[in-house]
């Protein structure tokens, strides 16, 4: 079976290796969406209006936020676990938008662009996307027409699983079943 990756994924994988052969290439129009300046160490450029800044197609308006400075969208280990979780919830990558928050986006910008009904945050705090509240892991919070939930990123681990990680994964699964009405 032959699998072909979309161009934006290929470009993301080889972002440090690809070179432009022509010298007079027009640069895309840069717009300045609402970004937070809280992270002084972020080196990623802000998303452009005409550039896809998330993985997936967002068909069911579910945003999944992660923070990984070593990946364009999400590392392979977390993506594998997340794909299995989505499949168990009768969802797939086309249904969601996976956003790597090393870009420094705000909730307002995500809300305008993606219109999420659910935002699942893995080791991302509500303050990082400039929300006026905090919530503990696995608590559902409704705000601005959206349901929020945070979880520790270890729930996406697939190697070196300890009993404490298994317990966290179980908490996540129980909450996801509740959110997506899975029996």
Give 52-71 pLDDT, tens digit per residue: 899 999 999 999 999 998 89
Q: Could you tell me the two tokens for 161?
A: 């699983």
Report the number of distinct structural domains present in the chain.
1
Q: Is residue 117 within 8 Å of residue 62, measured between CB atoms?
A: yes
pLDDT tens digits for 128-158?
A: 999 999 999 999 999 999 999 999 999 999 8
Position 25 in a domain: no
pLDDT tens digits for 108-126?
A: 999 999 999 999 999 999 9
Position 113 in a domain: yes
CATH of the domain at 160: 3.40.470.10
Nearest to 105 by CA among 9, 51, 149, 39: 39
Position 42 in a domain: no
Q: Is residue 44 within 8 Å of residue 103, measured between CB atoms?
A: yes
Position 81 in a domain: yes
The secondary structure of residue 144, as a DSSP letter, is T
Position 23 in a domain: no
Q: Is residue 141 within 8 Å of residue 149, measured between CB atoms?
A: yes
Q: Can you give the pTM of this predicted structure?
A: 0.73
Domain that holds residue 174: 32-37+50-179
CA angle 159, 136, 169 (to 5 degrees): 25
Position 16 in a domain: no
Nearest to 102 by CA among 54, 135, 59, 134: 54
Q: Is residue 135 within 8 Å of residue 150, measured between CB atoms?
A: yes
Position 133 in a domain: yes
Position 20 in a domain: no
């Amino acid at each position: 079976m032959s699998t072909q990756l979309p161009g934006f994924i290929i470009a993301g994988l080889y972002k440090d290796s690809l070179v432009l052969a022509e010298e007079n290439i027009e640069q895309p129009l840069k717009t300045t969406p609402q970004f937070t300046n809280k992270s002084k160490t972020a080196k990623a450029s802000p998303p452009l209006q005409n550039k896809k800044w998330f993985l997936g197609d967002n068909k069911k308006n579910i945003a999944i936020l992660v923070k990984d400075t070593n990946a364009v969208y999400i590392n392979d280990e977390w993506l594998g676990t997340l794909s299995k979780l989505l499949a168990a919830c009768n969802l797939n990558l086309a249904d969601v938008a996976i956003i790597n928050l090393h870009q420094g986006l705000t909730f307002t910008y995500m809300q305008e662009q993606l219109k999420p009904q659910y935002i699942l945050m893995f080791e991302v705090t509500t303050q990082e996307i400039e929300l006026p509240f905090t919530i503990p892991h696995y608590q559902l919070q409704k705000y601005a027409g959206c349901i929020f939930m945070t979880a520790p990123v270890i729930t996406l681990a697939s190697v070196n699983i300890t009993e404490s990680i298994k317990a966290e994964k179980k908490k996540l699964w129980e909450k996801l079943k509740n959110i997506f009405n899975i029996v």
